[in-house]
Each structure stands twice: as C-alpha cells, then as structure tokens.
Chain A
Amino acid sequence: SQQGEEDPQALSIQEGENATMNCSYKTSINNLQWYRQNSGRGLVHLILIRSNEREKHSGRLRVTLDTSKKSSSLLITASRAADTASYFCATDFVYGGSQGNLIFGKGTKLSVKP
C-alpha cells in the first residue's frame, strides 16, 4: 500500500495551544494536501502544498513539506474547540500526465478542550 502515515493518531490539547500533526509518505509526489473531517461527515480541503514548495500558510494553518525526508507537518495555531476534528494528509502521486492519484493516510484525531 502507498498509504501515508500520520502521527500522532490522537492529540488532545487545551484551547489556545498549538497543535502539530505529521505525515510521512513513501514515493515521489506532485503535491501533498491536508483535509479535515468532522465526525462522520465529508472531508473538507484545507491546504495544498506543491513538491517545489517548503512552507505554506492559510489563516491559522501552517504546512511544511520536506521532500528529502518524505514528510509534512500541519500546525494549527491558537486552537479553538471548533478545531476538534480528524485531520488527514493525502499525497498526489506522480504517474505522469496531467494528474495523479490521491492516497490518504489514517488521520490524526484532534480534540481541543475549552
């Protein structure tokens, strides 16, 4: 399986703290994406970082990508109770052509306590 791995599997923090989640993958990618899922609902796209980028920001989200280590991290700053959700990384593998195939990891379950 080419499935990536998130670390940790579960994370519990207090409101206002920062949350960091990591993702490792196995092969060459065009881009890496992070998604959020509230319990049992559909996944929502958060941010996409391309293989030639090292860091990207979106609001309270900061994503880094290290292609030499085949890893990425998602940082949520000043977390809120509403950030409680599962977070997944997905890697868009290079198959050639104009698009790739997205493979998801197992996710990190984040719980932010008020």
Chain B
Amino acid sequence: EAQVTQNPRYLITVTGKKLTVTCSQNMNHEYMSWYRQDPGLGLRQIYYSMNVEVTDKGDVPEGYKVSRKEKRNFPLILESPSPNQTSLYFCASKLGWGALHFGNGTRLTVT
C-alpha cells in the first residue's frame, strides 16, 4: 500500500532531550516536507527536500534539523527540544506537481 509512515504517533519528552521523528514513504517521491500545525496558525512548513541530499528551510526552521540521505526517508531532528515546539507534526511527500500524501501525524509534547 502506498503510504507515508511517521513514527511515533505520540511523544512526550522533556526540555533538552534530543529526539528524532521518522518519516518514510514507499512511493519513490522526490519531494518531501515537514509541517507543524498549531491552533489558529494552519500548517507551517519547517523544512522541505526536493531530492536526495537537497534540503531547504521553510518558514519555521529554527530548532529543527533534517537530513535526506536516501529518497524514502526524511527524519526530523530536534537537538534540544523546548516547550514552544509542542505541536502536531506532519510529514508529506509528492511526485512532481501532484498532490501531497500525508502521514498520520506526530503529536509532540515537550515539558
């Protein structure tokens, strides 16, 4: 089944403890992107990648890192999480000018 898989679905952590949210797609899509969703702010883009080894900052990249070493995976890394990074995170991928396929989301709480 064609899908974008994010893990974990829920994560509670403490300030400063490094964490990684994984994202994997099995559709051979070149484009992948991370968004965060907060009430009233819609989806804001964190980072995106047009292809392997090509990543660019979105609107809210501060405090996040990404890597794209292979086409299927696009992990989101929080080196030192802070409470203002508590949010709902979505990974997505697409092919060319087509529609985005979304993962089920990761709800992160940083205390």
Contact = CB atoms under 8 A, between A and B. Distances in A.
Interface of A: 1-3, 6, 30-31, 33, 35, 40-45, 48, 50, 88, 90, 92, 97-107
A99 B43 contact: no
Nearest to B51: A99
Interface size class of B (residues with CB under 8 A): 20 to 34
Contact of A103 (B40, B45, B96): B45
B90 A99 contact: no
Interface string B71-111: 00000000000000000101010111111111111010000
Contacts of A2: 59
Given A40-B88, A102-B94, A88 B102 contact: no
Given A102-B94, A103-B45, A43 B104 contact: no
Contact of A3 (B42, B98, B100, B107): B42
A3 B35 contact: no
B30 A42 contact: no
Nearest to B44: A3
A3 B94 contact: no
A104 B96 contact: no
Nearest to A89: B42
Contact of A41 (B48, B99, B104): B104
A26 to B, nearest CB: 13
Contacts of B88: 40
A31 B96 CA distance: 11
B100 A40 contact: no
B41 interface: yes
Given A31-B97, A92-B97, A42 B104 contact: yes
A42 B105 contact: yes
